[in-house]
Structure 1
Amino acid sequence: TDVSGIAQNFSASTSSEAKEDAPKAEVKDTPKAAEPVKETPKAVESQSLDTPEGRIFVSPLAKKMADEKGINLSQVKGSGENGRIVKRDIENFTPAASVAAVGKFVPSGQEDFDEKPNSQMRKVIAKRLSESKFSAPHYYLNVEFDMDNAIAFREQYNTLPNTKISFNDMVVKACALALKQHPQVNSQWFADKMRLNNHVHIGVAVAVEDGLVVPVLKFANEQSLPQINAAVKDYAVRARNKKLTPQEMEGSTFTVSNLGMFGIESFTSIINQPNSAILSVGAIIQKPVVKQGQVVVGNTMKLTLACDHRTVDGATGAQFLQTLRGYIENPVTMLV
């Protein structure tokens, strides 16, 4: 018997069984490293400010620091989340070089004033104008007249020997003629009646050192332009020298106030009661105007008529101004 084959088979069988019977290495589960816990970030405390430059987000601390330092937050660029302004932005902020730093004003003086007793004239002015303003329902009509013809007329008129008239003289004369055609504007209001005056007495406001006086041109519609000029000049001189009599400042039915010589273009006045209206006259201004479809250099003057609505309705006041315009813009008609 060939035992070598048996020996080989036995050896192979034994080796195979040994491999099967050998204890298997125990595989242990290696614990995995713990994953770091992600912390949810806390909400960042912030304030939102609405400014003309837009909405600004800023931390409370940064806002407090900015307020203390007088820093305009709209000039600070935020470095925080979404452009939020934080503490370091305020600490590092430098004002723009082009903006000059302005120091806070610290008053060094004391309040000071002088007192003087109210003159009798100021007391009368205060009393009468207050009564007029609060008792008469004022309304105002504004117009602008073309003064080119008036300027040419005055230049030609003043070439006459010993003759000198002003634009104010022309306005007074024109008002006197227009009032004859619109007696309602020449009326006066009293507690129990309305007086429609057929005569025309025009008060001319004159500034004096202590205030204002209004001498009266009696029957102004019957006076010539040179006569009006002479009377107004005389009243003005005597008013400033306190030489006017009470009778010369009584009886007006209408008033003209002119501030054009001071460069005032337009203004409103308080009615001199019991009159129903007062005309405020401004300066003659040279400016571009449209004539016959062309832009040319023209001269205009603004006037404001203050009316008492108890006696003069709006349409009546407007019609008076239309008539006045006819005389001023065509002054030769005042001589007819």
Structure 2
Amino acid sequence: MPIDITMPALSPTMETGTLAKWLVKEGDTIKPGDVIAEIETDKATMEVEAVDEGTIVKLLVAEGTDEVPVGKVIAVLAEEGEEVSAAAAPKEETKAEPKAAEKPAEPAKAETPAETKAEPKPEPKAEEAPKAAAPAPAPAPAKSSGDRVKASPLARRLAEAKGVDLASLTGSGPNGRIVKADLDKAPAGAGAPATAGAAPSAAAAPVAAPIHGAPEGVPAETIKLSNMRKTIARRLAESKQTVPHFYLTIDVRLDPLLKLRSQLNAALSEDKKLSVNDLVIKALALALIEVPDANVQFAGDNLYKFGRADISVAVAIPGGLITPVIRDADNKRLSQIAVEMKDLAARARDGKLKPEEFSGGTASLSNLGMFGIKQFDAVINPPQAMILAVGSGEKRPYVVDDALAIATVMSATGSFDHRAIDGAVGAQLMAAFKRLVENPLAMLA
């Protein structure tokens, strides 16, 4: 019996994904554990492994296809000993317009509600429809079939938003199916039928706020946004619009921490050597435990207060960033944090993190010090309530033991969700962080 390979859910929030690349072709024999495809989710591009053994008889979704729903059949596998042609045949039949098979039995019913929403009398409207459609011959054939027009769900939504008549378009998808790319090429309102009196008003809102093109005459390259980039744009815009941010900045003397790091690294093996970032992760985690009112998350009528510190650490990857999580960072040894962070960062850049490794986290850390950035304000990563932005350590005049001296100083800025954390609580957290960094032996206790 043929086996369906479906679009997997690779993260807790994933609803659709992009089939970025097939790593197998029809006729290939696979076994459990073989990597068969690369799927682009809202978080990263991840490899998908086979769970069954057999021969690939049909690839149903082409490379580069966007918005593939979780659970949709993307390929068909024939089990060992099964005839390949027999396994492939049912898929050919089921692939060809399953919805059309359900709808031809009641074409009139499907047509009538759509056209009579605004009118209390369905009968006269049904009679007027052909007359109104008569001057526009292109839509007429489409209305004669039960499903009217072959189009993906996404294409239908886009057509409704843009006021485009699907019957006026030529589909470039399988069997002439209209896909998102066909809508991207169509101007707003293209082919809008005369009878659709509500369509222009429905499309008015999107048209009123267009996305402007590049300035005329300026050389520009159009780059399609990845799912990750779209998610970053959506989530951070939502964060700035809905989360009341406030910011607290402190200067921290790094010399004691740098000295301790040097002493510890002299005794550690190469794979366990510490970075400044590792010690900062530990300091933030301990500060959150010391000030538990800052280790929280806003949840409408509730507030979650966490009993441990899981630190999401921002890691830059091609096309965006991802935040692998150091869990229970307050209880881990510095060498454990160093080893775990190196592993997570390396696999993040290779797109090989598991969903549970970048999901969750009670607070975040973003460090741009390695780029020479002195100080910056980071955007909170919902649903978390705080993120610490760390700049570079640099030589500055600083008061040490009541005397002015030159010290290595780092600026750190906390961004806080004022719905969950008050100013005084945020200040207590920043003070605790400063004290731990300037007295790092406390992190070894």
Which structure has the larger Rg over C-alpha atoms? 1
Determine what percentage of the aligned residue pairs are the same residue.
41
366, 369, 378: which is aligned to 1:260?
Answer: 369
TM-score by length of 2: 0.50
Matched, 1:161 2:268: yes
What is the distance in 2 between the residues matched to 1:318 and 1:226? Answer: 29
Higher relative CO (CA 8 A, sep ≥ 6), structure 1 or 2? 1
Matched, 1:119 2:226: yes
Matched, 1:130 2:237: yes
What is the distance in 1 between the residues matched to 2:307 and 2:350? Answer: 33
Please list every run of 5 or more consecutive structure 1 residues that lacks an aligned counterpart in the other structure.
1-108
What is the distance in 2 between the residues matched to 1:245 and 1:118? Answer: 22
Could you say which residue in structure 2 is the equivalent of 1:282?
Answer: 391
290, 304, 309: which is aligned to 1:195?
Answer: 304
Q: Is the 8 A contact 1:253 1:275 kept in 2?
A: yes
What is the distance in 1 between the residues matched to 2:356 and 2:401? Answer: 50
Matched, 1:145 2:252: yes
SS of 1:176 mapped into structure 2: helix
Could you say which residue in structure 2 is the equivalent of 1:245?
Answer: 354
SS of 1:234 mapped into structure 2: helix
What is the distance in 2 between the residues matched to 1:245 and 1:291? Answer: 45
What is the distance in 2 between the residues matched to 1:330 and 1:186? Answer: 22
What is the distance in 2 between the residues matched to 1:295 and 1:139? Answer: 31
What is the distance in 2 between the residues matched to 1:293 and 1:219? Answer: 37
**Equivalent position amino acid for 1:161 in 2:** L
Matched, 1:309 2:418: yes
Question: For residues 93-122 of structure 1, what are the alpha-carbon distances to aligned partners after superposition, in whole Å with 9 as ceiling and x for unaligned?
Answer: xxxxxxxxxxxxxxxx94211101110000
What is the distance in 2 between the residues matched to 1:219 and 1:210? Answer: 29
Q: Is the 8 A contact 1:204 1:256 kept in 2?
A: yes
What is the distance in 1 between the residues matched to 2:295 and 2:399? Answer: 34
**Equivalent position amino acid for 2:247 in 1:** Y
What is the distance in 2 between the residues matched to 1:161 and 1:190? Answer: 42
What is the distance in 2 between the residues matched to 1:203 and 1:167? Answer: 16
**Equivalent position amino acid for 2:398 in 1:** V
SS of 1:184 mapped into structure 2: helix
Matched, 1:211 2:341: no
**Equivalent position amino acid for 1:243 in 2:** K
Q: State which drifts further: 293-302 or 165-174.
A: 293-302
What is the distance in 1 between the residues matched to 2:234 and 2:399? Answer: 45
Cα RMSD, aligned residues only: 1.3
Please list every run of 5 or more consecutive structure 2 residues that lacks an aligned counterpart in the other structure.
1-215
What is the distance in 1 between the residues matched to 2:218 and 2:276? Answer: 45
What is the distance in 1 between the residues matched to 2:329 and 2:401? Answer: 36
**Equivalent position amino acid for 2:423 in 1:** G
- Number of equivalenced pairs: 228
Q: Is the 8 A contact 1:186 1:275 kept in 2?
A: no
What is the distance in 1 between the residues matched to 2:308 and 2:418? Answer: 21
SS of 2:267 mapped into structure 1: coil
Extract structure 1 runs of 4+ deviating beyond 4 A.
none
**Equivalent position amino acid for 1:111 in 2:** V
TM-score by length of 1: 0.66
Q: Is the 8 A contact 1:260 1:284 kept in 2?
A: yes
Cα shift at 1:293: 4.7
SS of 2:251 mapped into structure 1: strand
**Equivalent position amino acid for 2:237 in 1:** S
